[in-house]
Structure 1
Amino acid sequence: MTRSRLVIGILLLVGGLVLVGATAGVSSVTLDRSLGVAIADDADAAIGIEHQPSTASDQNGTSVEEVFVTNRIEEPVTVHVTGVNAPGLVDVESPETVDPGERDVVAVTIDCRQSTEPALVDVTVTGGDRTIEQPLEVEPTCAESSQSSDG
């Protein structure tokens, strides 16, 4: 019986070492899975913010540039414009809210006689559980005759 106890003891010891060795060496697991992330174009996004350059300046030398905010979610979104900076900036008009399915405009007016530098505009749109912050460099469209000359 001594020999059978010795064999059983050795088998138990080897089995225990196999179990401990198989789990003790694993601290992390690496899975080989791919993750696809895509950024939607403004035409497909839930909330779209885009600047479409104007094609002409008006007669008094100002350029009114339009930044469009499109709401494709099922509740109104709020619009907040901050960080507006440009030497020739005259005015910024912005809607407070944009209703579901609607598109509204933030109008940025730049006096081309003072500066043809772009206006830096930060547009923040909040609705539901989404907040979109979009910094934009709004380039004025200035007619040749309305631009300031450097003498």
Structure 2
Amino acid sequence: MNRLRRLGVVAIATLVLLTTGTGGVATISGDRSVELAVADEGEAYVGAEPAEPTVGAGPPEDVVVLTLTNRFEQPLTVDVTVRGDGPTPPVLQGYDAPDHLGTGEAAAVTATVNCDASPGTDTETWTVGVSATGDDVSVDTTRTVTVACTGGGKG
């Protein structure tokens, strides 16, 4: 009987060991803090520095409204939109912007501004949207630009 008892104990111990886990870990979690900060314009990966152009009375004039700078270590494809405030001076007649920026390259966004009908000093706030993409990066930003007419037009 002693032998049968030992065999029973071994069988029960074997069943217990086979039905329990090995003690491995299935999930690990931990707390990690993440800090985000907005970089100054001179340190941002895509710099978008607004200008404050002033246009005199007379024929339409091309002025710089924004300067873009690529500080990524790869070239970027760029899409820019410029939206004027309305039909009163200064009037946005069109704009020209780069469609790509090489590594470290800077380029101007220019707008054709008409102040011909401005009787005095008028200002408008325009919106410039910038979308830049690279191989594994993407940046979307919006800047406001104050454009002024210095009057003396045909009003």
Structure 2-normalised TM-score? 0.62
Query: Could you tell me how far apart the structure 1 residues matched to 2:137 and 2:97 are?
Result: 19
1:82 corresponds in structure 2 to 81
Bigger helix share? 1
Secondary structure at 2:152 match in 1: helix
Contact 2:58 2:115 in 1 (8 A): no
Q: Does 1:106 align with 2:109?
A: yes
2:16 corresponds in structure 1 to none
Taking structure 1 as reference, are residues 118 and 112 closer, same or farther at Cα in structure 2, changes over 3 Å only? Answer: farther
Query: Could you tell me how far apart the structure 2 residues matched to 1:83 and 1:141 are?
Result: 16
- Deviations 1:119-138 (CA, angstroms, capped at 9, x unpaired): 22222122232222222222
1:97 corresponds in structure 2 to 100
Q: Structure 2 stretches of 5 or more lacking a match?
A: 1-28
The root-mean-square deviation of aligned C-alpha atoms, in Å, is 2.7
Q: Structure 1 stretches of 5 or more lacking a match?
A: 1-28
**What one-letter code is carried by the residue in structure 1 that aligns with 2:146?**
E
Contact 1:61 1:142 in 2 (8 A): no
Structure 1 stretch 118-127 or stretch 92-101: which is displaced more? 118-127
Kindly report which structure 2 residues correspond to 1:1-151, keeping only aligned pairs within 5 A, or say none.
35-54=34-53, 56-58=54-56, 60=58, 62=60, 64-82=63-81, 84-87=83-86, 88-113=91-116, 116-146=123-153, 149=155
Identity of aligned residues (%): 30
Structure 1 stretch 109-118 or stretch 34-43: which is displaced more? 109-118
Taking structure 1 as reference, are residues 138 and 114 closer, same or farther at Cα in structure 2, changes over 3 Å only? Answer: farther
Taking structure 1 as reference, are residues 46 and 30 closer, same or farther at Cα in structure 2, changes over 3 Å only? Answer: closer
Secondary structure at 1:86 match in 2: coil
Taking structure 1 as reference, are residues 117 and 61 closer, same or farther at Cα in structure 2, changes over 3 Å only? Answer: farther
Query: Could you tell me how far apart the structure 1 residues matched to 2:151 and 2:57 are?
Result: 11
Query: Could you tell me how far apart the structure 2 residues matched to 1:65 and 1:105 are?
Result: 6
**What one-letter code is carried by the residue in structure 2 that aligns with 1:37?**
L
Task: Count how many residue pairs are aligned between Structure 1 and Structure 2.
Answer: 118
Query: Could you tell me how far apart the structure 2 residues matched to 1:78 and 1:114 are?
Result: 37
Secondary structure at 1:142 match in 2: strand
